[in-house]
Amino acid sequence: MIKAVLFDMDGVLVDTEWFYNRRRCAYLETKGYTFDEIPDLSGTNDVYIWEYFEPNDAERRAELKREYFATYMKEHPVPYDELKNPDARPVMEELRRRGVLCAIASSGQREMIEELVGAADLRDVLDATVSGHEVSAFKPDPAVYLRTMELLGVEPRECLVVEDSPLGIEAGLRSGARVLALKPREGVTLDQSQAHRVIDTLWDVIDEIDS
């Protein structure tokens, strides 16, 4: 019996990956970096991303990251109202009506999670939110999912994880939960072959519970 559904954020509850890719490159171009095309780093994490752009100079990498998060992100905020998944709230409402707990388990920073929760009006339909920055390791380590399960008081076999990226899918599998992969937007290619099931919309989560 499924007692909880744990949602990844970026790519699942909000279509932000393409925006993040463009915003990071726009910032780095102000620092002298050039790109023939914008690299798609969808589904990765902060550590991987900044090492990708600046692999050799750790001091330079730390300064770029610090300035990006401290200044550039605030000057170019995510348009959550435009990018949020319109199915998120009604699906969570239906899950709660059935007595199923709902949570966000994201690699994103706490500030970003809170912004999305407010913009998508999810606060009253969520039982927990956990950031990957608050646990011991990022996805594909299952730490963020295991911590969320601990907070909810549920076992892995009682959970569905809803993900989109290969790293997130691996994290969900390693946590012991059943993993659903939300098909990405057109033009985005992600290997979702390891998920138990690929779904077209968040409403398929309800079908999964009913089956």
Give the domain ranges of the chain: 4-15+81-210, 17-75
pLDDT tens, position by position, 29-57: 999 999 999 998 877 778 889 999 999 99
**pTM score of the predicted model:** 0.88
Decide: 4 and 154 in contact? Cβ < 8 Å: yes
pLDDT at position 55, please?
Answer: 96
> For residue 136, what are the contacts with CB-CB under 8 A and spacing of at least 6?
143
Determine which one of 8, 10, 127, 141 is catalytic.
8
What's residue 121's pLDDT? 96
Catalytic (active site) residue 8: yes
DSSP notation for 36-55: SS----TT--HHHHHHHHSS
Q: What's the confidence (pLDDT) of residue 204?
A: 98
Calculate Rg over the CA atoms of the chain. Answer: 17
Find the angle CA(24)-CA(167)-CA(2) to the nearest 5 degrees.
Answer: 125
Predicted pLDDT at 109? 87
Please give the CATH topology (third level) of the domain spanning 4-15+81-210: Rossmann fold (3.40.50)
Cis link prior to 156 (omega < 30° from 0)?
no
Residue pair 19/83 in contact (Cβ under 8 Å)? The answer is yes
pLDDT band for position 117 (cuts 50, 70, 90) = very high
Q: Which residues contact 195 (CB under 8 A, 6 or more apart)?
A: 163, 169, 172, 179, 180, 181
State the average pLDDT for the chain: 94
CA distances from 20 to 41, 42, 157 (A): 9, 9, 33
pLDDT value of residue 189:
80
Q: Determine the Cα–Cα distance for residues 27 and 112; give it in Å rounded to an integer.
A: 18
Per residue in 156-207, pLDDT (tens digit) is 999 999 999 999 999 999 999 999 999 988 777 889 999 999 999 999 999 9
Reported as type and span, the H/E element at residue 82 is helix 80-83
In this structure, which amino acid lies at residue 155? E
pLDDT at 46: 84
The encoded tokens of residue 148 equal 């969320």
Q: How are the residues of the chain apportioned to helix, strand and coil, as percentages rounded to the nearest 5? A: 45, 15, 40
